Amino acid sequence: MKIEVTQDIPTCQALRRVVFIDEQGVSEADEVDGLDGRAIHLLAWDGECPVGTARLLVKGAVGKIGRVCVLPEARGLGLGAALIRSALEELGRIPGVSEAYLGSQSHATGFYEKLGFQVEGEEFLDAGIPHRHMRLAL
């Protein structure tokens, strides 16, 4: 498996559609937020097949990791953790970025805690799914 920065936004959007819209029932209005054009996109490959993606948005000293997804058939192989590590490495290359931030689905906070993130604040709903804010100093 390999993970790379990509300009292939349509492939990233197609992966997100499968996971967020088709599998999790997120509305298209919630998934398509108009921010893809200003984001850094990561794409994970299994051979010639794209199987996961993540999106990075930078505002000041904070890099927001979002739209992290892995296709069902590629789960359980450590790809999600590899995507987050790659996202953190990419954010670390950006001058002035000192913190990573994300909104984790509540059931996944343990996954992010193992990668060093800490939960902050109360649970909230995003696209009807319970989430928690999480941060990590870079």
Exposure string (b/e) for 25-42, b if CB count within 10 Å is 16 or more? ebeeeebeeeebeebbbb
Strand, coil or helix: 99: strand
Which has the closest alpha carbon to 117: 129, 97, 94, 100?
A: 100
**pLDDT tens column, 71-101:** 999 999 999 999 999 999 999 999 999 999 9
Q: Which residues pair with 120 in a beta bridge?
A: 133
Q: What's the chain's average pLDDT?
A: 96
